[in-house]
Amino acid sequence: MGMARDEALFLRRMRAALAATPPALRQGRPAAVLMPLLMVEGGLHFLFTVRPLSMPTHAGDICFPGGSLRTGEDARAAALREAREEVGLAPEQVTPLGFLPPRRTGSGHVIAPLLGLVAAGASLSPCPREVAEMFTAPLAHFLDAANYAREEMTVRGQRRAYWVVRWRDRRIWGATAGMLKRLQELARDDGG
């Protein structure tokens, strides 16, 4: 089954709107994530991972494959390496579409999100040490501004606001929801 016309238009617009080269990640701990898009039942879906409850940080959180840059590595290489390590996705099975603006986190990371199209039939094999579960959710859901809400919490005595987007019984929040919200805004600003 082929890609819907509006999804093909979205991909063309994102290729034009997103940065082709990895951003310089300064003033923070540099990290990168791959925002993988794959075809599921005739439509584009994001692939998400759920972190194991045994993880020392962000246990149980929903996120994209990613992590810190290694010495001498740029954000593209880090995002693709982390996707291979976490979900078994071979780099040659990903067509990078471009980078969203870097995202700062309360933990001091500055994250470069790379939007990438996963080849049909790509093999996925989650690493149980890093991934408790994988699931997909349709791109269209995350392009609808009505699906986002702002919430707040107190962290180390300071109030922090963050985005939340729900998919069925899943609650996606924090940096991951912020990246999705930024993508939604870029798509809207570009007329998509």
Q: What is the pLDDT of residue 4?
A: 73
Q: What is the DSSP track for 66-125?
A: EEEPPTT--HHHHHHHHHHHHH---GGGEEEEEEPPPEE-TTSEEEEEEEEEEPTT----
Query: What are the structural domain ranges in the chain?
Result: 5-139
For 53, list phi and psi in degrees, rounded to 5. -65, -15
H/E stretch holding 60 reads: none
Return the closest-CA partner of residue 2 out of 120, 123, 97. Answer: 120
Q: What is the pLDDT of residue 120?
A: 93
Count of Cβ atoms closer than 10 Å to residue 122 Cβ: 17
The percent helix, strand, coil of the chain (3-state, each to 5) is 25, 40, 35
Report whether pLDDT(190) > 70: no
Report whether pLDDT(148) > 90: yes
Q: What is the pLDDT of residue 1?
A: 43
Comparing 135 with 155, the larger pLDDT belongs to 135
Q: What is the pLDDT of residue 192?
A: 42
Residue 50 bridge partners (DSSP): 62, 133
The count of C-alpha atoms lying within 13 angstroms of the C-alpha of 139, restricted to the half-sphere facing its C-beta, is: 26
Return the closest-CA partner of residue 117 out of 175, 177, 44, 19. Answer: 44
Q: Taking residues 11-33, report their average pLDDT.
A: 92
Say which CATH class 5-139 falls into: alpha beta
Q: What is the pLDDT of residue 103?
A: 94
Do 32 and 66 meet the contact criterion of CB atoms below 8 Å apart? yes
Over pLDDT 90: what percentage of the chain? 77
Q: What is the pLDDT of residue 106?
A: 79
**Interatomic CA distance for residues 120 and 150, integer angstroms:** 35
pLDDT digits (tens, 9 = 90+) for 64-83: 999 999 999 999 999 999 99
Over pLDDT 70: what percentage of the chain? 94
pLDDT digits (tens, 9 = 90+) for 87-144: 999 999 999 999 999 999 878 889 999 999 999 999 999 999 999 999 999 999 999 9
**Interatomic CA distance for residues 34 and 115, integer angstroms:** 6
**Interatomic CA distance for residues 109 and 128, integer angstroms:** 24
For 184, list phi and psi in degrees, rounded to 5. -60, -45
SS3 139: helix
Range with lowest mean pLDDT among 54-58, 92-96, 141-145, 169-173:
54-58
Report whether pLDDT(33) > 80: yes
